[in-house]
């Protein structure tokens, strides 16, 4: 058996949560391999809307094993709030959610450090969510991190030592803060966390594979936010690409099967950073309004623009994508003309590859196509697609070199059309 990987190909917010929920019935296990509670996966079905921050999106399928892998950073307080809300809605977790002992814990002081570092940058802010993700990964890399497995042995001593290191930094930065309330909430959440099963996730995942179980690995954020291959420094603090599944779960590269790459029919970005196809006009505002482009965790308005095929080709190459999934096609239903960026103009030179930097002097070169100007949200099969939409799909497949296997026509799991027979 091999694991399949599902990840975003743009700057995050592509709609991964819905797709995981749609695909989950075909798998025995869903495993989250990186990121933290800054990434919200939104799922809608049976008239209900859920936003998952740390818990894998397969949790709504009652008979599935869900694993939070070692590559994830976990905030116990936010995890508790998320888990309690799900349990109150009738979705039991304790029997089927396993947490890696090697996952690192986001401490209250990590959140304070996040805010302090961002404030110290002035106009050069990266635009973090302030959830403490970056400082937690920093502690992990510098070998000062606190892990889930530490909860069971000498935890108070380890916590205090880590906290004092952080307080020294906060004081050196001259950052004013109050720790008491958030620390009390956090420590209560640590006790709540003890009710769950802590596992050596690398052993569990591989044993499940050897037992013939099918596994779907769920990524957070998007490829263009990868710490190594994204638009640095305006990136997240983890490896969001397919290789991150190997690192974040302990899976060998030769165990990777299909790689599902998710993208929107247009493009969005949250926070700071370069965005070649960003629109600053009524069209951008229209896409934002129709697409409800506001962060599921932060509520921040997303920047909107036309689809960027230069960046998409790059993401497909980096990840080894085998199947594409296009989200939010319905957002473009009313546009008379659709544009797609097929190359960049960099200081007068046309290039079709993704360069080292896209911050300065990068202008998109567009191809224009007629829109379909038809409501597709109630369509049930590919046979109902308008001619112009089929032309758009064919154009994208030709440009990207990978088939678009699934098309989403709305937020509900029922608004999903598969164009190719599943494996």
Tell me 13's DSSP state. Answer: -
Number of helices (H) and strands (E), helices first, in the chain?
11, 20
* 323 Cβ neighbours under 8 A, 6+ residues apart: 258, 259, 260, 261, 402, 403, 405, 406, 420
User: Omega before 144 cis (within 30°)?
Assistant: no
* 399 Cβ neighbours under 8 A, 6+ residues apart: 309, 313, 340, 342
Among 319, 323, 320, 315, which Cα is nearest to 267's?
Answer: 315
Residue 412, beta-bridge partner list: 44
Q: Using alpha carbons, list the distances in angstroms from residue 90 to 19, 59, 87.
A: 22, 11, 5
Count of CB atoms situated within 10 Å of the CB of 45: 15
- Compute the radius of gyration of the chain from its Cα atoms: 21
**SS in 3 state form for 193-226?**
HCCCEEECHHHHHHHHHHCCCCEEEECCCCHHHC
Among 9, 20, 26, 1, which Cα is nearest to 422's?
Answer: 26
- H or E, element range at 155: helix 155-173
Q: Are 68 and 55 in contact (CB under 8 A)?
A: yes
- Three-state DSSP at 370 gives strand
Active site residues: 13, 41
- Three-state DSSP at 61 gives coil
Among 51, 46, 39, 41, which Cα is nearest to 17's?
Answer: 41
If you write DSSP's letter for every residue of 291-331 in order, what string do you get?
A: TT-B-TTT-PBPEEE-EEHHHHHHHHHHHT--EEEEE-GGG
């Amino acid at each position: 058996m091999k694991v399949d990987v599902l990840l975003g190909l743009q700057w995050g917010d592509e709609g991964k949560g819905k797709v995981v929920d749609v695909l989950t019935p075909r798998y025995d296990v869903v495993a989250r391999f990186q990121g933290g509670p800054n990434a919200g996966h939104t799922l809608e079905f049976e008239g209900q809307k859920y936003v998952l921050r740390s818990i894998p999106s397969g949790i709504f399928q009652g008979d599935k094993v869900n694993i939070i892998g070692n590559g994830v950073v976990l905030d116990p307080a936010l995890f508790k709030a998320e888990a309690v809300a799900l349990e109150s809605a009738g979705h039991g977790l304790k029997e089927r959610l396993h947490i890696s002992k090697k996952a690192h814990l986001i401490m209250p002081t990590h959140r304070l450090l996040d805010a302090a570092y961002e404030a110290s940058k002035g106009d050069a802010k990266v635009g973090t969510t302030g959830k403490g993700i970056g400082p937690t990964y920093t502690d992990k890399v510098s070998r000062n991190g606190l892990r889930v497995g530490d909860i069971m042995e000498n935890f108070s001593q380890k916590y205090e030592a880590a906290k004092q290191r952080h307080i020294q930094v906060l004081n050196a930065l001259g950052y004013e803060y109050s720790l008491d309330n958030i620390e009390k909430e956090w420590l209560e959440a640590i006790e709540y966390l003890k009710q769950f099963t802590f596992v050596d996730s690398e052993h569990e995942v591989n044993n499940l594979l050897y037992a013939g179980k099918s596994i779907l690995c769920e990524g957070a954020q998007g490829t263009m936010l990868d710490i190594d291959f994204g638009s640095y420094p305006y990136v997240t603090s983890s490896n969001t690409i397919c290789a991150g599944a190997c690192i974040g779960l302990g899976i060998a590269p030769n165990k990777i099967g299909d790689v599902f790459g998710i993208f929107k029919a247009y493009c969005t970005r949250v926070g700071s950073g370069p965005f070649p196809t960003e629109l600053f006009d009524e069209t951008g505002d229209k896409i934002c309004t129709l697409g409800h482009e506001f962060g599921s965790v932060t509520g921040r308005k997303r920047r909107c623009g036309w689809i960027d095929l230069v960046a998409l080709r790059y993401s497909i190459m980096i990840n080894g994508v085998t199947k594409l999934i296009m989200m939010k096609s319905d957002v473009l239903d009313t546009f008379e003309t659709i544009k797609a960026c097929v190359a960049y103009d960099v200081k007068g030179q046309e290039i079709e590859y993704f360069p080292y930097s896209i911050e300065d002097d990068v202008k998109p070169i567009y191809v224009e196509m007629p829109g379909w100007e038809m409501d597709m949200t109630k369509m049930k099969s590919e046979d109902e697609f308008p001619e112009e939409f089929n032309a758009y799909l064919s154009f994208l497949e030709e440009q990207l070199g990978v088939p678009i296997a699934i098309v989403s026509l709305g937020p509900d799991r029922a608004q999903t059309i598969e164009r190719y027979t599943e494996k």
